[in-house]
Structure 1
Amino acid sequence: MNKSRLLMSLFLCAGLAACSSAQVARDEASALIESGQYEAGLARIEEGLRENPRDTELHMALNSGRALAVTSLLSQADMDRAQRNFAGARMTYSRVLNIEPNNRRAQDSLRQLDYLRSMDEKLELARGDLRRGDIYGADRQVKQILELDPKNDGALELQDSIRLVQSRNVVQYPQLRTRLDRPVTLEFRDANLKTIFEVLSQVAGLNFIFDKDLRPDMKATIFVRDVRIEDAVELLLQQNQLHQKVVNENTVLIYPDSPQKIKDYQELVMRTFYLTSIDANTALNMIKTMLKTRDVFVDERLNTLTMRDTGDAVRMA
């Protein structure tokens, strides 16, 4: 009887000691994790599990501790990265992988940080592209940089420079503005064309200049109601095979629709394209075939293509 009581007492003491050991491990680990010493806290729980492998609460504490550590470290690493503290972000993402080796978010972030380290080289390449006139190449490089590092000062500055160059390459045409903000009604039968334009000039405040080769006896018949002044002018031009050129916001030049006159009055622009993804001679054939541009020149050494044509044709190229 005394022997049985002794054995029970020994088992009870052992159980109490195990419970006490597990509780100490949990308490110490909790304090370490709360202070941000995640690795040390998790190591303390694992140590407690080696002594008490069947302790359910220790297993639960290990799982919850790992989840808390990973979430907190990822948040800190993301914050460091947003503040451009790339060294701190790298160290913290690495801590995540020490705790959870297969964490995809930390793996991807470290790869992106490796890419960010080469941003200075990439930025210099983009600057070189812009200096050579390869706007497309420079813009592509800058977009790749800003996708990973939206606050990169050098890339943002270069992006502004690219936009400025692009705006200069856009041909700005004058826009016609009339003092008439309401539709017009025209009723003319076999009237002298210049007389009709004189009426429009008085009503809309527009100036019409006529090419010297325009026949003075040209007539037109037009019956339209509630149309824009621009549409009325276009209808008159179509009737008589004429073209117009907007000289400024209130002046229009009227000239005959003939190949020579069109050539005389069309404004031509010239632009050089620095090609990176296509051979210059291949581009030359495409432009001549699709745009019918004749004034195109190729520099095979620099792989550039220079064309002289109307602004619309240059923009399409």
Structure 2
Amino acid sequence: MIGFNRLTVGQTLACLLVLTLLAPPPVQAKTRKGDKFYAAGKKAENAGDWETAFEAYENALREDPAEGNYQIGHRRTRFEAGARRIDRAQKLRAAGKLEEALTEFERAFLTDPSSAIAIQEIKRTKAMLDAERRKGTKLGPEERGLTPVESARRESEEKIGRIQAAPELKPLSRQVTSLKMNNQNVRVLYETLGKLTGINVVFDPEMQQPSKNFTVDLTNTTLEDALEHLSTLTKMFWKPLSSNTIFITNDNVTKRRDYEENVVKVFYLQNITSVQELNEISVAIRSVTEIRRLFTYNAQNAILARGTVDQVALVEKLLQDLDKPKAEVLVDVIVIETSRGRTRELASALSTTTGSSTTNGISVGVTPALGSAGTGNTLRLTELTSLSAGDFAINLPSAILRAVMSDSNAKVRQTPQVRAAD
């Protein structure tokens, strides 16, 4: 039995010796080189250089992939480094350098494979390169840097820019020193004014010329005022066709509808609180200005107006007068905590008020209705049944309020404000 025990102990020691010799050497949790990269990453991260910090943490992980601090730093800087590379790639693409931008987007994806923006920008840049190859023409740097959405937006803006605005009359001379003509027809009047100011005059082929002649005597006036004077005198309507040409026709509803310039303008109201108010203003504007095309947009509290220049100007003036802020009353309330003894002193001071009773420092007076038999603060017994809340008044003199606020034992607990709108 003893020999068996000795043999067992010997075998056990032999097994332990073999296991010790075969076991691999212990792995250190950190290496000096990994710590060096980690320190460099921390320094770059503190300086805001996310890409350098990410590369340093990545090098530290290569030295020791199991170290937790290295992993945390690597994950923390991955997103920021990828975002910086995406931003740099977008600037390259905006400058028309599509190939360099694509390379930078791919680097951003390798930095942060979870970035959906990097994947989207890679696809978009590749599509731009493919579209350029299909066209077969070399575009300029600015045009190359436009994404499909930006190209569509630019085309839309160019179309809007090509819409011609109302022509503005620019004569050689706006000043009319003297214009005197006796017993002349409409054509002679307008043509003479055109020669004086350097503009062309075009008449409507269907114009019905008045049978009578007119006499004009104008001095020291402008071209626009002279045209308005002639229009009123001859019952004609004029409009500019270009910077140096005007069109003359009869002034009636049909001709104005056919030739008068219309403008469109959007007005945003600032003090509207309900759809009903917006509709009421719209109805009022439509009735006063007789403008037909007036629409409301409730979501933006906006009114769209289309009409002649004078009509839209009148709409703007009326909206400025109607869109006013509502009247408000602001009441300042002061909640003060004070001692009961101080309250009694204030009550004693308030008790000097003639014809009133005091309760806890507040003066309560009774004011009879106008024309009643009582005078001052006196009441007849027959009037007690007709008293209402309007017959009582509470008086708190400002001097007493200042005394309370200056008392060292008084404490201001709250100072709320009550705002009431009409």
Smaller-chain TM-score bracket: 0.3 to 0.5
The structure with more radius of gyration: 2
Q: More helix per residue: 1 or 2?
A: 1
Q: Highest relative contact order (Cα 8 Å, sep 6+), 1 or 2?
A: 1
Scaled by the length of structure 1, the TM-score of the pair is: 0.41
